Structure formats: structure tokens, C-alpha cells
Chains A and B, each alone.
With several copies, the nearest count.
Chain A
Amino acid sequence: MGCSTEDLVAALRAAAEVVIDHRDELVELDRLIGDADHGENLRRGFTAVVSTMDGGGWSGPASVLKAVAKTLISTVGGAAGPLYGTAFLRAGAALDGRAELDAPAVATALRAALDGVLARGKAEPGDKTMVDALTPAVQAAEAAAAQGADVVATLSAAAGAAADGAAATVPLVARKGRASYLGERSAGHLDPGARSTSLLLTALATHAGGAR
């Protein structure tokens, strides 16, 4: 079961709505160890993504993901804007020329996204950032795809690992991003970006199967 361009658009729209619904939670997480804007930044950005998805005229999954990237880069701002923007841009670039997505393509795209985030943000696993959700997600997706899982199962594996990875940020002391200014006092809190990554992947997994 592949994922068509249409399925991808629908899944991204659904994922955008999930993020928008979690605005207040993400604001609150960021208020505790940051500057209280992550949820508002993503609400602004993913509201624009919904409009972008309304556009149409897609030439394939790559074009959709690049449009999402451009939208996020020009509307989110903050750290998350360029990081998520780069993630979607690299994921799109990794899928250039494909008409639809299979599981290995999903894993490839996620790996490219992670590489983009690492290149831009220079965080390492354990720094208490979105990298701590995305890294295990990529590994889980690659393992699932290698074992022959379909797109939805691959994304579900990624989402599960992202949720665990996000939860595991709680005890960490932040070394990157705004929470790092708190030093030891950043421990004991969930990283907002790891949480939003987990939300996005879970929503994509739930909706990537299309209307089926």
C-alpha cells in the first residue's frame, strides 16, 4: 500500500490540524523552559500549511513537501521555523522524481529530514531538542521498512519511537535551544520541539493511509 501525492496532502493537512489543536499545550511547555511561543509559532505556521495544501497543482510528493517547507520557513520564525523548514525541504529533495511513497521512501525522507535538522541546528542526541524525537523515529522507520512494513506501519513505528524519545527528554539537561539557558533547571520538563515532532509523526501515521 503506497502513499499517493493526494494521500500525502491529506495527511499533512490532518497533521497540521493536530498541531494547531495542541497550540496551548506547546505554549505551556515552552513557557516552562523557554519563551512561551512554540505552540503559537506552529499554529501560525501550520495554519499557513493548511492554506498551502488547499493550493493543489502538485507534481508529486517532493513538490508537496517543498511547499510545506517554504510555508514553514516564511511563517514560523524562531528556532522551529528554520529547523522544521529544513526538515521538510530535505525530505522533499530526497523524494525528487517519485510519484508516490513506499515504506523505504518514507524512511529515506525521514533520514534526510533528520540530517537537515542536524546540519542546521548542530544539536546532538541528548541535547533535549526535537532531535531526541526524530533520531529514534528515523531508526525505527528504517528498521520497519527493512522488515517489509508498509507506509502506515513504517510511520507508526516512527511515531511510537518519537513519542518515547520525546518522553525521554524530560530528565535531560538542555544543551541546545532556549532551554539550555536554564542549565540544570531545564531538567524535569518535556521539550516542546520533541513533543511537536512526536505529534506530527503520530498524525502522519494515522492519516497516511488516506481515506482507506
Chain B
Amino acid sequence: MKKIINDPADVVSEALRGMALAHADLLTVRQDPAVIHRDDAPVQGKVALVSGGGSGHEPLHGGFVGPGMLDAAVPGPVFTSPTPDGVQAAIEAVHGGAGVLLIVKNYTGDVLNFETAAEFAAIEGTEVRTVVVDDDVAVKDSLYTAGRRGVAGTVLVEKIVGAAAQRGDDLDACEALARKVVGGTRTLGVALAAGTVPHAGQPGFTLAEDELELGIGIHGEPGRARLPMEPADALVRRLVDAVTEDLPYTAGDEVLLLTNGMGGTPQIELYLAHGIAAELLAARGITVRRHLVGSYVTSLEMQGMSLTLLKLDDELVDLWDAPVRTAALRWGM
């Protein structure tokens, strides 16, 4: 394991220290429990958006805290959901009287820890709602399983609902919007090489030079299938096929296309893949109205990418385009 770190146990707290220094004009960063929130929180009368989860997915979630997006993020240890006290502290820090919406990626740990915090907050009289993001088509959904994972689509939910909260939508509206966005979002990812959890010291899985892992999540867990390595055209087609068939997305649909890097794949490959995906979608009569290309929801230094589609309508486009000012996503302000 080669990383620019000190003691593996201190990775998150030391990274938060750097983040606090780098974005002192935007963020307040607390430790023990770790919480990143807008430095102007609470914003009175605005629905507060809180997300969080294990660390190692940067810029998710802390990089999306700021006007027009999240009010707070709760970073757990690497790949480990934060405990309820962190979530409670975040809720207290940002609750501005209009209720709190928790955006939770669908993992047992995240769901349980956020749920516990929500119960406590309710006891204190704070109105809290929870929306679970589960956009990963690699996992077959069923009543009897943990369900689909929340992966790169989370950033789209955070941006769009963040814009709605900013324009003054109430808690009901924000919750309904979040469910709508989740419902229209699908993702599939692929890895060329796994990342290494600092405290584990070994990669989550090992691939040969000629192998890829399809359907990976964002925690270094192996995917659903190991396949022979293939050129970008074939690989991206595989992702586009699986994602479009799932919802499905069909001719006439307008979408946002997110080509997301897993942390160790450079931008040049992401642009290359994005071009292929956009052309494949165009060939199916699906119009890509909005584009996002970059490493937004990562898995440490994993090499690989995911493709996310979000079905758009004019309202979602407006909310996507609305000003946002965070460490990792910023426009219009």
C-alpha cells in the first residue's frame, strides 16, 4: 500500500483538517464527531439537507456542502458509515426551522445509523425525513436483499434537491423531488484496479492485466462478474446497455449523463468514455441535455468509472442549472 498518509487511523481527521484550511471561506469543519457544514448554517426557513457516509468517496459528500447543495455532510471512517451522534450533530448544526432531509446511500450501515439519528432528532422535536438513494443497477433489487446500492447518482440528487431547498421548497416538496430524482437515476460501474483501504493495507480485490471487474460498488467490494479487458468502445457500450435497459431509458427521453471516475482514472479517459457514451445514447434517440464528467463519487484510488443517467424534464434542468457553490461543484456564483 502506497499512500500519502500518516497513521491509517488518522486519515479522515487529517484530510478534514486540510479541507477546513482550503475552504475556510465556505465550510465549518468539526471533529469528534466529524461534521462538515456551511459556515453560514443554519439558514433560517430553509429546508436543511444532510448527507454523509463512509469516507474514501471524495469529493462526496463534503465537497458538495455549500449554497445550492448540502447544508452538512457527515464523514465516517474510510468506507464505514458514521455513527448516529455525527448525524445528530449535523442535524443540530444546520436545522433552520423548516425541517431536515437526510440523503442516505442505500447500505445497511448508513441506513441504520442515519435512522437512529433521525429517531433521536424526532424525539427532540426536529422534523426529519429520509430519502435513500439506490441507483446501482449491478445489484438486483428484491424484498429479501439489502437492495441496490447508492453510488454516483447521489451527487445528482444532492445538487437538484439542494437547488430546490435553496429556492424555498418545503420539506414535503424536497422529499418528493428527491424520490423523483432517485427514481429516474441509474448507474453502473466498472473497475480496472481496486483501491486499498488504508487500515486494511491490501486492495479489495486483485485483477490481472487482462481482467476487469464489472458492477463494482464504491467500497472496493468485488463486482458481479470478472470479464476480459476490452476496448473502451465495447466497455462503454456494455455500461450504456445495462443502464438504459434498466429503467428503461428510451428514444425521446432527455437525460443527464454523468461519466464518473473512481479516483485513479485520469480525466482524459473519462472524456474519452463520455464521448462514446453520448454517441451511443444519441444513436438510440436519447438526448443528453446535461453533461457531467469527472471524479465525483470515488472509491479511494480505484481505477475505473461509472456511467449514470438521470431522466430530465424542464424542472430538473432548471434545478440542475441553478447556482451552486461548493468545493467540488460550482457555477453561477
Contact = CB atoms under 8 A, between A and B. Distances in A.
Interface of A: 27-28, 31, 33-37, 40-41, 44, 73-83, 120-121, 124, 175-178, 180-183, 185
Contacts of A182: 221-222, 224
A28 to B, nearest CB: 8
A51 to B, nearest CB: 14
A41 B77 contact: yes
A36 B200 CA distance: 6
Contact of A79 (B78, B112, B144, B221): B112
A41 B80 contact: yes
B264 interface: no
A27 B188 CA distance: 26
Nearest to A82: B112
Given A76-B83, A78-B54, 7 more contacts: A35-B80, A37-B200, A40-B200, A74-B33, A79-B112, A82-B115, A176-B145
Q: Which of B33, B146, B222 has the most CB of A within 10 A?
A: B146
B61 to A, nearest CB: 15
Contacts of B115: 82
A33 to B, nearest CB: 8
A28 B224 CA distance: 20
Interface string B73-109: 0001111111111000000000000000000000111
B221 A81 contact: no
Please classify the interface of chain A as helix (H, G, I), strand (E, B), loop, or mixed, using the class held by over half of its residues.
Answer: helix
Contact of B217 (A33, A44, A121, A181): A181
A81 B109 contact: yes
Given A37-B80, A77-B81, A176 B116 contact: no
Contacts of A74: 33, 83-85
B68 interface: no
B38 interface: no
B80 A78 contact: yes
B145 A34 contact: no
B81 A175 contact: no
Interface string B109-148: 1001101100000000000000000000011100011100
Contact of A78 (B81, B85, B139, B140): B81
Interface of B: 33, 54, 76-85, 107-109, 112-113, 115-116, 138-140, 144-146, 149, 197, 199-200, 202, 204, 217, 219-224
Contact of B221 (A35, A77, A80, A124): A35
B112 A185 contact: no
Nearest to B225: A185
Contacts of B139: 180-181
Contacts of B202: 31, 36
Contacts of A78: 54, 76, 80-81, 109, 113
Contact of B113 (A36, A81, A121, A183): A81
Contact of A34 (B85, B112, B221): B221
Given A37-B200, A178-B107, A75 B79 contact: no
Nearest to B299: A35
B145 A35 contact: no
Given A73-B116, A177-B146, A180-B145, A82 B109 contact: yes
Contact of A73 (B83, B200, B219): B83
B116 A77 contact: no
18 contacts: A28-B200, A35-B80, A37-B78, A37-B80, A40-B80, A73-B116, A74-B85, A77-B80, A77-B109, A78-B54, A78-B80, A81-B113, A82-B109, A180-B145, A181-B146, A181-B217, A181-B221, A182-B222
B108 to A, nearest CB: 4
A185 B80 contact: no
Given A35-B197, A178-B221, A40 B109 contact: no
Contact of B112 (A33, A35, A41, A83): A83
Contacts of A36: 79, 197, 199-200, 202, 204, 220
B145 A185 contact: no
Nearest to B224: A183
Contacts of B81: 77-79, 81
Nearest to A185: B222
B262 to A, nearest CB: 14
Contacts of B223: 181
Contacts of B113: 77-78, 81-82
Nearest to B219: A35
A81 B83 contact: yes
Contacts of B140: 183
